[in-house]
Structure 1
Amino acid sequence: MKRSISKHTTEYLDQLNSAETKGDIEDYIFKPDSLDILIQNHKLKIVGLNFYPDLDLLLFVLNNKKVMKRKISDFKNLKNAGLKDLEKYFISKDGVHWEKLDEDLSLRGLLQYELTHSDVALSY
């Protein structure tokens, strides 16, 4: 199945890319977009993580009972870490942080990845 995202999301990502290229992202920092609004309105947050290094799998559990999966190897600072180091994280309102591994993953970034890499057609 062809991957598809909404026209609104595609336009936003194009505008953000253009603004980043010009070094003018202030509007995107101070004006919430649809992802920020989704997180706020549904009070979304990460409540747990599960690691499966042998499977190269990282599961993020959200408070709405949804699970997002990513490859551990997608993250430069996590891919060579042992299980003990992976398990030394803390969850904030914005995402997950590994101080020792110098890695920070935002809920917003994880959701954006889900939207742009979904095998299911999305619409608003």
Structure 2
Amino acid sequence: MAGVGVAFLRAVESLDSNDQRDTASGWADRGSDGSAGPAERVRRPDRSSAEERESISRGLEAGASLRSIAVSIGRSASTVSREVARNGGRAKYRAVAAEQRAQEQARRPKPSAL
């Protein structure tokens, strides 16, 4: 019984001395102060991607209709229309600015409405 405890202590000491962390227990995700840190951002599949926004921007520059842009990226026309409207309209839509705005809007915590 005492041998098992010694082996365990040696294993812990080797982990500490090599500064390795156990990925199975989640310690690999912890910072040096033990905090979890921010979670990795994962975009929902129903949200426009940066590539889709770039396609919208190029389509608008080429003078394409919103419906033809929507067909080319595999989205509904109303989705493309809302995306363009919320980001400055046909004349001012820029993919980079739209992507930055989307990232800002997705951040947590949200400001209180009251």
How would you bin the TM-score normalised by the shorter chain? Answer: under 0.3
TM-score, normalised to structure 1's length?
A: 0.23
Which structure shows the higher helix fraction?
Answer: 2
Output the TM-score relative to the length of structure 2: 0.24
Determine which structure has the larger strand proportion and give its number.
Answer: 1
Higher relative contact order (CA 8 A, sep 6+): 1
